[in-house]
């Protein structure tokens, strides 16, 4: 099972030094991948609760968030072999033609290390700010993938869809990876799980109990098979949102990836038994991570734990 780590892209630490030290150290000690998230706004009075928190409140560190693709570009310039991914990019926010060029550039400049995790997002406030109707997020995600794939194939492309239009054109740049970089989808509702099976190379859940993952991943694989794709080729990449404590959390109701390092090790073991292809450790919102040195210490501890 591969191991990934989220770059310190959020909160007071987010900046060039933190990105550089974490990216270089992660590559040196053998991590397979580095990841960033996509957060545009910190709504003061959010219209929808934040789904990853029990109280629905966005974590305060989100008030400072680096642009995901620029942060990955910085990491790409400082490393040579570690994969660079988004977990996840809020695809409906972006014009897919402009995004196709940006992502292709990142893939070329990193020598083919881009991995694209995408989602439809959940925040009505962010959709309003980007000028995209919230109700169109699913359809725009689907069509944006179609446009990205068409442009990245090379040659002349023409597209006339519900949301996007491309006159007969050739994209100014293709990604190094052909026919395209791998695409993973964050998906939870039946319609989005179906979309992941039909269009993506894998499923990328975050914030779910390990016990719920097998059934949902089974639905993704069933959708892949129904679409004439090989379900065994679908990857399972789990982002583990860590909440680390000095002592173990007692009781059977402990949530996955909360508690002591020993309990986190048990959770990683469960993912291995499930058959996950990769675990991504997200520590930016965990207690006890308040400096670059804290990140570097956890980098090493979690790598040893996963091994």
Whole-number Å distance between alpha carbons of 107 and 131: 28
pLDDT of residue 52: 85
Percent of the chain with pLDDT over 90: 97
26-67 per-position pLDDT tens digit: 999 999 999 999 999 999 999 999 998 888 899 999 999 999
Residue 160 has pLDDT above 90, yes or no: yes
| Boundaries of every domain in the chain | 2-188+241-271+285-306
pLDDT of residue 54: 80
Across the range 269-291, mean pLDDT stands at 97
How far does CA 244 lie from the centroid of its chain? 21
Helix/strand/coil (H/E/C) assignment for every residue in the chain: CEEEEECCCECCCCCHHHHHHHHHHHHHCCCCEEEECCCCCCCCCCCCCCCCCCCCCCCHHHHCECCHHHHHHHHHHHCCCCEEEEEEEEHHHCCHHHHHHHHHHHHHHCCCCEEEEEECCCCHHHHHHHCCCHHHHHHHHHHHHHHHHHHHCCCCEEEECCCCEEEEECCCCCCCCCCCCCEEECCCCHHHHHHHHHHCCEECCECCCHHHHHHHHHHHHHHHHHCCCCHHHCEEEEEEECEECCCCCCCCCCCCCEECHHHHHHHHHHHHHHCCCEEEEECCCCCCCCCHHHHHHHHHHHHHHHC
Residue 126 has pLDDT above 90, yes or no: yes
215-273 per-position pLDDT tens digit: 999 999 999 999 999 999 999 999 999 999 999 999 999 999 999 999 999 999 999 99
User: pLDDT grade, residue 176 (50/70/90)?
Assistant: very high
pLDDT, averaged across the chain: 97
CATH no., domain 2-188+241-271+285-306: 3.20.20.30
- Distances in Å between the Cα of 40 and the Cα atoms of 66, 84, 98, 130, 187 are 9, 20, 18, 9, 20
Whole-number Å distance between alpha carbons of 286 and 289: 6
């Amino acid at each position: 099972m591969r191991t990934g780590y989220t770059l310190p892209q959020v909160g007071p630490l987010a900046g060039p030094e933190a990105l550089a030290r974490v990216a270089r150290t992660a590559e040196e000690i053998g991590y397979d991948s580095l990841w960033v998230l996509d957060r545009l706004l910190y709504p003061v009075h959010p219209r929808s609760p934040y789904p990853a928190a029990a109280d629905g409140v966005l974590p305060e560190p989100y008030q400072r968030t680096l642009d995901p693709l620029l942060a990955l570009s910085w990491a790409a310039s400082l490393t040579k072999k570690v994969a660079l991914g988004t977990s996840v990019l809020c695809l409906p926010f972006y014009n897919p033609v402009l995004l196709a060029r940006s992502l292709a550039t990142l893939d070329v400049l990193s020598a083919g290390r881009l991995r694209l995790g995408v989602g439809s997002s959940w925040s009505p406030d962010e959709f309003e700010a980007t000028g995209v109707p919230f109700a169109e997020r699913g359809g725009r995600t689907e069509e944006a993938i179609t446009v990205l794939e068409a442009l990245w194939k090379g040659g002349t492309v023409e597209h006339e869809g519900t949301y996007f239009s491309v006159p007969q054109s050739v994209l100014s740049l293709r990604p190094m990876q052909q026919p395209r970089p791998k695409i993973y989808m964050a998906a939870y509702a039946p319609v989005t799980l179906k979309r992941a099976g039909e269009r993506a190379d894998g499923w990328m859940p975050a914030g779910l109990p390990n016990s719920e993952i097998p059934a949902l991943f089974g639905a993704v694989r069933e959708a892949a098979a129904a679409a004439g794709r090989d379900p065994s080729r679908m990857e399972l990449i789990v982002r583990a949102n860590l909440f680390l404590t000095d002592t173990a959390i007692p009781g059977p109701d402990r949530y996955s990836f909360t508690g002591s390092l020993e309990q986190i090790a048990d959770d990683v073991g469960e993912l291995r038994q499930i058959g996950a292809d990769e675990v991504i450790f997200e520590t930016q919102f965990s207690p006890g991570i308040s400096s670059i040195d804290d990140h570097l210490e956890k980098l090493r501890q979690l790598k040893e734990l996963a091994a």
